[in-house]
Amino acid sequence: MLLCSTPAPFLDNTTPMTTPDSRAANGNLVTKLPTDQELVLKVIPMPGDCNANGDIFGGWVMAQVDLAGSVLPARVVKGRMATVAVNEFIFKQPVRVGDILSFYARINRIGNTSISVVVECYAERFRSQGQFVKVTQATLTYVAIDDDGRPTPIQR
């Protein structure tokens, strides 16, 4: 599954980026993990995933979000899917080498052939493991496709 960037006609405003945050003793913004979403992916970025600033390249984060977002729709579709849209993508905080990233997802809407998913990514910073910083939130849409790559109705 590859990423594509599209305008955002369907912005998801149901999950605000303003999860109550607090500051840990080391100054990091920390937050609670979501309880209404499923943990769908954990991964640790490596030095080879960095951009010129030394932070993790946004495209790498987008690829992980695309993979994470596909997990719940895959269970519904049980067949071929394609990402049709990245409707919203917010890089709230930088991601750094050695962060433990946890991706949480929930299905936002199931349509005739498409499924919209909200993905949130939380980082446990290097040397601050156990404290979670929300770094990214995105809304993506996946489409069930047939063997010819055409949209096909989702069986429910």
Residues in contact with ligand COA by the rule CB under 6 A: 1-4, 6, 9-10, 82-85, 87, 111-114, 141, 143, 145, 149, 151
By CB neighbour count within 10 A (0-12 exposed, 13-18 middle, 19+ buried), where does 88 fall?
middle
Nearer to ligand COA, 34 or 73 (CB): 73
Residues 80/74, Cβ–Cβ less than 8 Å: no
Min. distance of Cβ 3 from ligand COA in angstroms?
Answer: 6
Nearer to ligand COA, 30 or 117 (CB): 117
Min. distance of Cβ 150 from ligand COA in angstroms?
Answer: 6
Q: Which residue is nearest to ligand COA (CB)?
A: 111
**Residue with token string 């100054």:** 27
Min. distance of Cβ 8 from ligand COA in angstroms?
Answer: 8
**Where do the H-state alpha helices sit in the chain?**
58-77
**Nearest-angstrom CA–CA distance, 58 and 36:** 26
